[in-house]
Amino acid sequence: MIKINDNFTRLSASYLFTDIARKVAAFQEAHPDAKVIRMGIGDVTRPICPAAINGLLRGVEDEAHEETFHGYGPEQGYKFLSERIAAVDYGERGIDVAVDEIFVSDGAKSDTGNIGDILAVNNKVAVTDPVYPVYVDTNVMAGRAGQPLPGGGWSDIEYLPCTAANNFVPALPTGNPSMIYLCYPNNPTGTTLTRSQLARWVEYARQNGALILFDSAYEAYISDADVPHSIYEIPGAKEVAIEFRSFSKTAGFTGLRCGYTVVPRELKGVDAEGRERSLNALWLRRQCTKFNGASYIVQRAAEALYTPEGREQVAATVAYYMRNAALLREGLESAGLQVWGGKNAPYIWIKTPDGLSSWEFFDRLLNDCHVVGTPGVGFGPSGEGYFRLTAFGSYDATRAAVDRLKRF
């Protein structure tokens, strides 16, 4: 018989968003006239901006002619894109990132999920809690998570609670983890770390030989000056951190698929014999073997985001969603709810009222307001008693949802 990877059988059978979709489908079947507003899954709604569409068209045109046709591309991404990333996303912030430290990919989900390939299975993992589920689930698949615990979570993962009690600033780990996932601005809580708060993590990682896996998929939403856009704004971070970025939430590339990961050359790990190895070299080896690059056409679209028009259009999209976020935040606060996020992130994190559990609140909102959000507990044990709404809907739908929530 074929033996399977048993780690997969330890994962709960259904995925959070599948459970939500099932509940919404059942409700919609029972109430076919109800106009359900979906603010649950973190997908965007604004179309791809004209600059990126022009980039796509140029890519398509190139592929149509022998002289400009592109087949297999460099696994690490085309230089025309990584040079723009290095110059704009990092250079303009005074950060020195070289082109060969940038790995263009089909998105941050793949990269945050795959990065564990180059790291030992017996590394101890720490995550903030609640957390983007991919970090935990991919470590379960890899065999790093141990056993599921009755109250939620996994025996070998250190959970760092982020709740109202600590104002969503996680305490430093106590279990000596070697892999620490940080996501700021945070999905799901919409909260951030200031420069000095993030500096404590870099210092911790440097002193304890830990690797920080820093997901900054939402950095474009930052407006506060003391919130860093990149972990590399912190001196010494290049020796301890890998950074993940995505064009999904800034430029509507959730369907097109493009992102990138920075693996600095300074970053070293040790092999079983204790010899130092470059993580950049290992990731390059991994990508060259298992990945054939993001498509040429999509990389041309991403390149176009760095033109003056592209940058303006991306900024307009971000502003559109942040107007929704402000509307949600103010509306919910005026309705007497406690909320976080929505200032430097497109997510609003709500304390469920009257001691309702996350799923009870989900059911109440769906049944009474026909609004769909995401139960906080789906993101980890410390998410219980919280609820996430996204600002990625249309302005009209967001306004309608706020009106309904206020009545509720």
Q: Where are the beta strands (DSSP E) in 149-253?
A: 157-161, 179-183, 211-215, 241-246
**Cβ nearer to ligand PLP, comparing 47 with 235:** 47
Please list, residue by residue across 354-379, b when 16 or more beta carbons sit within 10 angstroms of its beta carbon and e when fewer do: eebebbebbebbbeebbbbbbbbbbb
Closest-by-Cβ residue to ligand PLP is: 107
In whole angstroms, give the CA distance from residue 282 to residue 279: 5
Which of 76, 82, 230, 246 is the binder for ligand PLP (CB under 6 A)? Answer: 246
Pairing of strands 211-215, 241-246: parallel
Pick the closer one to ligand PLP by CB: 305 or 369.
305
Q: How many residues bind ligand PLP (CB under 6 A)?
A: 14
**What is the helix (H) or strand (E) element at residue 387, kind and residue range?**
strand 386-390
Q: What are phi and psi of 45, to 5 degrees?
A: -125, -20
Position among 128, 163, 189, 248 found at the interface with ligand PLP (CB under 6 A) = 248
Among 278, 7, 240, smallest CA distance to 145 is for 7
With respect to ligand PLP, which residue has the nearer C-beta, 217 or 332?
217
Binders of ligand PLP in range 254-293 (CB under 6 A): 254, 259
Q: Which stretch binds ligand PLP (CB under 6 A): 5-13, 65-73, 106-114, 390-398?
A: 106-114
**Cα–Cα distance, 177 to 293 (Å, whole number):** 31
Nearest distance, CB of residue 231 and ligand PLP, angstroms: 14
Q: Which residue has the tokens 């993030």?
A: 198
Residue 126 bridge partners (DSSP):
158, 180
Q: Could you tell me if 133 and 11 are in contact, meaning their C-beta atoms sit under 8 angstroms apart?
A: no
Cβ closest to ligand PLP, residue 131 vs residue 369: 131
Of 75, 89, 129, 215, the residue at the interface with ligand PLP (CB under 6 A) is 215
From candidates 125, 211, 213, 217, binder to ligand PLP by CB under 6 A: 217
Residues 154-183 that bind ligand PLP (CB under 6 A): 183
Pick the closer one to ligand PLP by CB: 42 or 378.
42
Binding site residues, ligand PLP, CB under 6 A: 42, 107-109, 112, 132, 183, 187, 215, 217, 246, 248, 254, 259
